């Protein structure tokens, strides 16, 4: 039901460069030719001192959730040949890159690695998250549906399954037949992300990749959720319940304009 986790899109402004093998070879050679100052033992000495809120603000996950990621990815981590980077360091560096607006150079220095190493680990991390952890994004059913409904009831939105909204993820000018299709109304290149969340702000479904010039309503029409709502609506939204969204979204029997 759920699309793959769209972690990689969060850094789309730099993906085009780091995917180029010649670029990776160049920056690796450049770093070997000069001594680049690094931050030693950041993971070992600094990260353990973070409070619970500080840790979550930097990595968007709790320590327990990071441990779950490490446990899941451990068996497949050796796909990175000849890596000497501990898995914990790799996971934290990748999460930091995805969460914070820090340059590759800054993150690489912080986690005591080269930019090319960070790039390789980041792509491997995103691939493995998509492959082995996509099931964590799932539609609310059973007890989770009841909990989501209760949360929305308390907030003043009764009988609600989830909420939908969209955002624009900035990208570089795409190499395609019609790059202007990706120019949004705010005059920068982007792709649309349509997200559905329960009352605990957890994603239920993600659809990402449509051109930035598309209106939210059009992007919604191309989601798997909309397709299912048209074919078998009660499999997602029980009788008498609905999805809420703002005025950008079409008013369907299973949707309700909340704003």
| DSSP annotation string for 224-239 | HHHHHHHH-GGGTS-T
Name, in order, each residue with C-beta under 8 angstroms of 245's C-beta and a sequence gap of 6 or more.
163, 164, 165, 220, 255, 256, 257, 258, 259
Cα–chain center distance at 245: 21
Q: For strand 255-257 and strand 242-245, is the pairing parallel, antiparallel, or unpaired?
A: parallel
Q: For strand 242-245 and strand 160-170, is the pairing parallel, antiparallel, or unpaired?
A: parallel
Q: Pick the more confident residue, 204 or 3.
A: 204
Among 9-13, 42-46, 188-192, which stretch is predicted with the lowest mean pLDDT? 9-13
Give the H or E element holding residue 244: strand 242-245
CB atoms within 10 A of CB 61: 17
| Reported pTM | 0.72
pLDDT in tens, 214-254: 999 999 999 999 999 989 999 999 999 999 999 888 777 76
Q: Pick the more confident residue, 219 or 11.
A: 219
Averaged pLDDT of the chain = 85
Q: Are 219 and 196 in contact (CB under 8 A)?
A: no
Helix (H, G, I), strand (E, B) or coil at 185: coil
Residue 90: is it exposed, middle or buried by C-beta count within 10 angstroms (0-12/13-18/19+)? buried
| Domain definitions of the chain by residue range | 7-134, 138-257
The pLDDT of residue 79 is: 62
> Where are any strands of DSSP class E within 126-202?
160-170, 190-197
């Amino acid at each position: 039901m759920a699309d793959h986790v769209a972690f990689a899109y969060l850094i789309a402004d730099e993906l085009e460069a780091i995917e180029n093998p010649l670029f990776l070879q160049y920056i690796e050679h450049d770093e070997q030719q000069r001594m680049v100052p690094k931050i030693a033992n950041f993971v070992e000495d600094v990260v353990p001192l973070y409070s619970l809120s500080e840790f979550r603000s930097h990595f968007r996950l709790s320590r327990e959730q990071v441990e779950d990621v490490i446990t899941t990815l451990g068996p497949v981590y050796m796909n990175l040949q000849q890596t000497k980077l501990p898995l914990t360091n790799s996971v934290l560096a990748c999460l930091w890159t995805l969460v914070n607006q820090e340059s590759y150079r800054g993150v690489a220095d912080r986690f005591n690695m080269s930019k090319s190493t960070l790039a390789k680990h980041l792509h491997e991390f995103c691939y493995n998250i998509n492959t082995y952890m996509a099931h964590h994004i799932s539609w609310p059913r059973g007890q989770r549906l009841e909990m989501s409904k209760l949360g929305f009831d308390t907030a003043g939105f009764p009988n609600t399954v989830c909420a939908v909204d969209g955002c624009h993820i900035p990208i570089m000018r795409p190499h395609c037949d019609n790059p202007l299709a990706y120019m949004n109304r705010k005059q920068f290149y982007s792709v649309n992300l349509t997200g559905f969340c329960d009352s605990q702000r957890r994603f239920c479904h993600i659809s990402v990749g449509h051109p930035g010039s598309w209106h939210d309503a059009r992007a919604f029409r191309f989601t798997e959720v909309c397709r299912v709502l048209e074919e078998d609506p009660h499999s997602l939204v029980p009788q008498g319940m609905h999805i809420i969204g703002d005025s950008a979204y079409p008013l369907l029997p299973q949707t309700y304009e909340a704003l």
